[in-house]
């Protein structure tokens, strides 16, 4: 199994507050005790380096922009600044629900992001910027297919696919897709299930990026990766909105992992 690593590129690894905001949307109110800059047991402070912008091969993700000797390109630096500002806003929109859907689970509710159109737009911008750090911008990323996991991966997967000039293919819970399907069972943070993909949904050798909202134990994502490979896809990476640190789900994945936000350094009942 691959292990996680810290990014050695400080300009893209912290959720610092930027005074300029290239995304053009007001940053969160930092005076709010529940705002993005508040250090809570659930979320690291904004000043703490973000360990999530990493791959799973113990190397920093190389930017695909031209890099001038001794530093980032102007485009890469602008992208890093925009990404950092957006992360602050995304984090402040998340809500936590203890003991949902079962005792001991601290549920991270991402839905408020989607009810605010400017934030929803920023999420897509951040995901595209994050993809660009590894693969290049838009169509240059060379992603053929974005695979989204039912159901929250359907909220932004298709839109991200369009922005990358890629197609979208769903992974669904068992019994929802017609025709011949491949099936993979898995265990997630609060239960067990089966995922399916339609045979023929991916052409042999197509470059596939798997996206979902949250990686917890990594069980769902690992099963999706198994299905993509069964269909002949080339799995180039995973992209999540959020990672629950204490569960170390990325250790189950054998392709590069990128996440916008990290949280829950410890289990709920250990706090
Ligand atoms: O890393 P894991 O422990 O596998 O957990 C992560 C998965 O759990 C949630 O999905 P859920 O099955 O609750 O479905 P939903 O998106 O339909 O709510 C989440 O959206 C991920 O897909
Ligand atoms: N703690 C959690 N919050 C939201 N979605 C999840 N999926 C798996 N674990 C989760």
Exposed/middle/buried for 259, CB within 10 Å: 0-12, 13-18, 19+? buried
Would 30 be classed as within a structural domain? no
Would 12 be classed as within a structural domain? no
227-253 per-position pLDDT tens digit: 999 999 999 999 999 999 999 999 999
Q: How far apart are CA 116 and CA 44, in angstroms?
A: 24
- Residues having CB closer than 6 A to ligand 1 are 149-152, 188-189, 212-221, 249
4-8, 21-25, 137-141, 217-221: least confident range = 4-8
Would 56 be classed as within a structural domain? no
CB 237, CB 254: distance < 8 Å? no
In the predicted model, what is the mean pLDDT of residues 81-105? 96
What is the structure's pLDDT at 70? Answer: 55
Q: How far apart are CA 269 and CA 271, in angstroms?
A: 6
Of residues 202, 97, 209, the one with CA closest to residue 148 = 209
In the predicted model, what is the mean pLDDT of residues 124-140? 95
Choosing from 110, 152, 223 the residue with most ligand 1 atoms within 8 A of its CB, the one to mutate for a pocket test is 152
- Judged by DSSP in three states, 243 sits in strand
Contacts with 18 (C-beta within 8 Å, 6 or more apart), sequence order: 27, 81, 84, 85
Q: Has residue 112 got a pLDDT over 50? A: yes
Q: How far apart are CA 29 and CA 210, in angstroms?
A: 33
- Determine which residue's CA is closest to atom 3 belonging to ligand 2: 107
- Whole-number Å distance, alpha carbon 80 to ligand 1 midpoint, is 28
In the predicted model, what is the mean pLDDT of residues 203-223? 98
What is the structure's pLDDT at 10? Answer: 27
- ipTM of this predicted structure: 0.99
42-65 per-position pLDDT tens digit: 343 333 444 443 434 333 333 334
Number of compact structural domains in the chain? 1
Would 47 be classed as within a structural domain? no
189 Cβ below 6 A of ligand 2: yes
The alpha carbons of the chain give a radius of gyration, in whole angstroms, of: 18
Would 203 be classed as within a structural domain? yes
Q: Has residue 101 got a pLDDT over 50? A: yes
- Determine which residue's CA is closest to atom 17 belonging to ligand 1: 151
Q: What is the extent of the structural domain holding 90?
A: 75-264
154 Cβ below 6 A of ligand 2: no
Would 6 be classed as within a structural domain? no
In the predicted model, what is the mean pLDDT of residues 62-86? 70
- What number of residues does the chain have? 271
Q: How far apart are CA 70 and CA 61, in angstroms?
A: 17
- Determine which residue's CA is closest to atom 1 belonging to ligand 2: 107
155-212 per-position pLDDT tens digit: 999 999 999 999 999 999 999 999 999 999 999 999 999 999 999 999 999 999 999 9
24-33, 93-102, 136-145: least confident range = 24-33
- Whole-number Å distance, alpha carbon 64 to ligand 1 midpoint, is 31
18-46 per-position pLDDT tens digit: 333 334 444 433 233 333 333 333 343 33
Exposed/middle/buried for 68, CB within 10 Å: 0-12, 13-18, 19+? exposed
Cα 57–chain centre separation: 17
Element spanning 254, H or E: none
Confidence of residue 71 (pLDDT cuts 50, 70, 90): low
- Whole-number Å distance, alpha carbon 155 to ligand 2 midpoint, is 15
Kindly report the CATH number assigned to the domain that includes residue 106: 3.40.50.2020
Who wins on pLDDT, 15 or 260?
260
Who wins on pLDDT, 54 or 127?
127
- Do the strands 191-198 and 167-173 form a parallel or antiparallel pair, or are they unpaired? antiparallel
- Whole-number Å distance, alpha carbon 153 to ligand 1 midpoint, is 9
Would 7 be classed as within a structural domain? no
User: Which are the catalytic amino acids?
Assistant: 152, 189
């Amino acid at each position: 199994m691959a292990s996680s690593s810290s990014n050695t590129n400080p300009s893209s690894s912290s959720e610092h507050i930027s005074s300029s905001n290239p995304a053009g949307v007001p940053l969160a109110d930092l005076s709010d005790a529940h705002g993005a800059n508040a250090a809570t047991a659930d979320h690291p402070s904004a000043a703490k380096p973000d360990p999530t912008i990493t791959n799973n091969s113990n190397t920093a993700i190389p930017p695909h922009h031209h890099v001038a000797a001794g530093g980032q390109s102007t485009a890469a630096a602008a992208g890093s600044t925009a990404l950092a500002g957006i992360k602050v806003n995304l984090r402040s929109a998340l809500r936590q629900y203890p003991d949902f859907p079962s005792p001991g689970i601290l549920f991270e509710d991402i839905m408020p992001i989607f009810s605010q159109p400017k934030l929803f737009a920023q999420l897509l911008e951040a995901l595209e910027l994050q993809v660009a750090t590894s693969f290049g911008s838009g169509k240059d990323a060379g992603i053929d297919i974005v695979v989204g996991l039912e159901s929250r991966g359907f909220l932004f997967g298709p839109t991200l696919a369009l922005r990358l000039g890629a197609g979208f293919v769903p992974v669904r819970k068992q019994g929802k897709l017609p025709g011949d399907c491949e099936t993979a069972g898995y265990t997630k943070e609060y239960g067990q299930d089966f995922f399916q993909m339609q045979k023929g949904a991916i052409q042999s050798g197509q470059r596939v990026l798997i996206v979902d909202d949250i990686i917890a134990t990594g069980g769902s994502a690992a099963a999706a990766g198994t299905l993509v490979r069964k269909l002949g896809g080339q799995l180039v990476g995973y992209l999540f909105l959020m990672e629950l640190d204490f569960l170390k789900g990325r250790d189950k994945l054998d392709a590069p992992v990128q996440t916008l936000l990290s949280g829950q350094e410890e289990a709920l009942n250990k706090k």
